[in-house]
Amino acid sequence: MSRKLVVLHIDGVSADFLAKALAAGEMPFVQHLIDAEGYELHRYRCGVPSTTPFAQAGILYGDNIEIPSFRWWDRERSVVVQFGAGSTFKSVADKASVLVPYLANPIHLGDWVVQTVAVLARTAKDYAIARSEGRHPARGYVAVDVVEEIFVHHLTRYAVQKAMREGYSPIYGAFYAFDETAHAFGPSDRSAMHVLKHVDRTIRKVASVRGEAYELLVLSDHGQVETTRFAGARGRAFGEVLAELLPGFRIQEIKGAHYGPPEDQATGRVRVTMSGGLAHVYFDGRRARMGHTELTAQHPDLARAVSGLRQVALVMSRDGGEDVFHVRGEEIRGPRIKPLLAAYDDPDILFAQLSRLNSFQSCGDLIVFGAFVDGKQVNFEDQAGGHGSIGGDQLHPFVLAKKEWEIDTSSVRGAHELHPILSRLRDRLAT
């Protein structure tokens, strides 16, 4: 008998974190899937950057080339390209066929109101506890983003169930509440674990609509790691440090402040896009990426100086077809970087992932990776938990699938390699 496929994307949950949540009894329905329905947990590597647009494009289309981060500077159009909760909301909420019947049902509205009040109360409590313990939750994510994601979460769940009742296949629904909460408080915080209970209920509710027609697969796109702000660790913003290293240049942090001389007095302009523990540095007024040789000729000490910062793990640039790395002020070319990459993941795999990213023309002229300081990765944004860079759980998401499907993700080195596996499963179920 043929089956249709519904895929639930749980944003930001690593394979190891899901295993911990299961061991702690926080996700009883997912545990039921494993115990009673023959599901098993698979790890895979999402690749670098470990961020949603890169991973999701790979999963859905098998192609994530030229997506160098969560946000980046488009040199040809002179605009910032960015993904986020707003675009996610619009992709669902702009469809009147979904939004109108959802809002017209008092049960849905009541459920959303109750959940929102509960989340606000719990979030306020968790925020107060975090502050009293000397931690610094990211205020920008604490209220507005959490509530927005709760609403989008409910609406997306309704849209998935509606699509199932109407017989669509495949269906792909993405849920972002955990990721947003983990950005606010950190992935290991009690508030993030509470949201996983909410996610578990959503998986159960979607599963209840399967009947004989649908099979369910659950996956994530990346994980998260505990982070500390660059400005918090050093006392100055990254853009401010760049302004000191580039006298006369006006530095614009996308989603941040400006540093250096006023516009009319600047000799040049630099734009910096920051996504978690990853930053791209773009010299303005160019339509193509600057190569390492030209960059060194114009700014001979820049890469060395940035890499010498305690908060920076490594700096990457491109010299023709060769990868150039700077670590602690030392230039290292090509695969000779591998021994230093072993601290972050399998060095052969990570080198290949970094080299692939470095081949993107959309990358900055310099690519900067945050270091781990006292067990936390330096984050170029204001986040308590982050991803997008290298090291730890952020690189290792999961797939939850039935054993009988014989899915093997052990050789997946990037999210784009998951696409053919899911496509084969879809086709197999349909026959």
**pLDDT tens digits, residue range 163-172?**
999 999 999 9
Q: Does one domain contain both 292 and 410?
A: no
Whether the per-residue pLDDT at 138 is higher than 80: the answer is no
Task: Please indicate, yes or no, whether residues 90 and 129 belong to a single structural domain of this protein.
Answer: yes
Q: Indicate the range of 109-123, 375-389, 394-408 predicted with least confidence.
A: 109-123
pLDDT band at 141 (very low <50, low <70, confident <90, very high): low
The confidence score (pLDDT) of residue 137 equals: 59
Q: Which of 64-68, 103-107, 208-212, 365-369 has the lowest mean pLDDT?
A: 103-107
C-alpha closest to that of 195 among 416, 19, 70, 27: 27
Percent of the chain at pLDDT > 70 equals: 84
Given this model, what pLDDT does residue 341 score?
A: 99
> What are the tens digits of pLDDT across the range 68-90?
999 999 999 999 998 765 444 34
pLDDT at 115: 65
Q: What is the domain count for the chain? A: 2
Region of poorest pLDDT, from 95-99, 207-211, 250-254, 334-338: 95-99
> So what's the pLDDT on residue 146?
59
Q: What is the pLDDT of residue 65?
A: 97
Q: Kindly report which listed range (24-33, 78-87, 128-137, 223-232) carries the lowest average pLDDT score.
A: 128-137
Question: Do 193 and 335 fall into the same domain?
Answer: no
Q: Please check the confidence at residue 105 and state whether its pLDDT lies above 90.
A: no
Using alpha carbons only, give the angle 196, 202, 206 rounded to the nearest 5 degrees. 145
Burial of 100: CB neighbours in 10 Å, binned 0-12, 13-18, 19+: exposed
Give yes or no: residues 256 and 176 share one domain: no
122-145: average pLDDT? 59
Residues 272 and 379 grouped into a single domain:
yes
DSSP symbol at 290:
P
Do 358 and 211 share a structural domain? no
**What is the pLDDT confidence band of residue 91, given thresholds at 50, 70 and 90?**
very low
pLDDT tens-place string over residues 319-345: 999 999 999 999 999 999 999 999 999
Same domain, 116 and 216: yes
364 in the same domain as 291:
yes
Co-location of 268 and 176 in the same domain: no
What percentage of the chain has pLDDT greater than the value 90?
77
The pLDDT assigned to 80 comes to 93
∠ CA 74-344-45, rounded to 5°: 65
Q: Are residues 234 and 369 in the same domain?
A: yes
| Separation CA 223–CA 354 (nearest Å) | 18
Segments forming the whole domain that contains residue 48: 4-224+392-430
- Taking the C-alpha atoms of residue 367 and residue 254, their distance in angstroms, rounded to an integer, is 15
DSSP secondary structure string, 367-404? EEEEPEETTEEEESSS-SEE-SSSSGGGG--EEEEEGG
pLDDT above 80: residue 291: yes
Instruction: Judge if 198 and 276 occupy the same domain.
Output: no
| One-letter identity of residue 359 | S
Average pLDDT along the chain: 90
Residue 62 pLDDT > 90: yes
Q: What is the mean pLDDT of residues 8-16?
A: 98
What's the pLDDT band for 378 if we cut at 50, 70, 90?
Answer: very high
Beta-carbon neighbour count of residue 319 at 10 Å? 15
Determine the pLDDT at residue 118.
Answer: 64
Last-in-domain residue among 386, 402, 417: 386
**Average pLDDT rounded to a whole number, residues 42-47:** 99
Q: Rounded to an integer, what distance in angstroms lies between the CA atom of residue 379 and that of residue 187?
A: 14
Q: Where are the beta strands (DSSP E) in 47-98?
A: 71-74, 79-82
Identify the helix (H) or strand (E) that includes residue 23.
helix 15-23
254 and 300 assigned to the same domain? yes
CA angle, 109 then 156 then 255, to 5° = 105
CATH number for 88: 3.40.720.10
